[in-house]
Amino acid sequence: GDSVTQMEGPVTLSEEAFLTINCTYTATGYPSLFWYVQYPGEGLQLLLKATKADDKGSNKGFEATYRKETTSFHLEKGSVQVSDSAVYFCALTDSGAGSYQLTFGKGTKLSVIP
CB of 114 to another protein, least distance (A): 27
Contact criterion met (CB below 8 Å) for 105 and 9: no
Pick the stretch among 17-25, 61-69, 72-80, 85-93 that binds another protein (CB under 8 A). 85-93
Does residue 51 touch another protein according to CB under 8 A?
Answer: yes
Q: Using CB under 8 A, which of 56, 60, 68, 106 touches another protein?
A: 106
Does residue 43 touch another protein according to CB under 8 A?
Answer: yes
Contact criterion met (CB below 8 Å) for 21 and 108: yes
Q: Is the peptide bond before 31 cis (omega within 30 degrees of 0)?
A: no
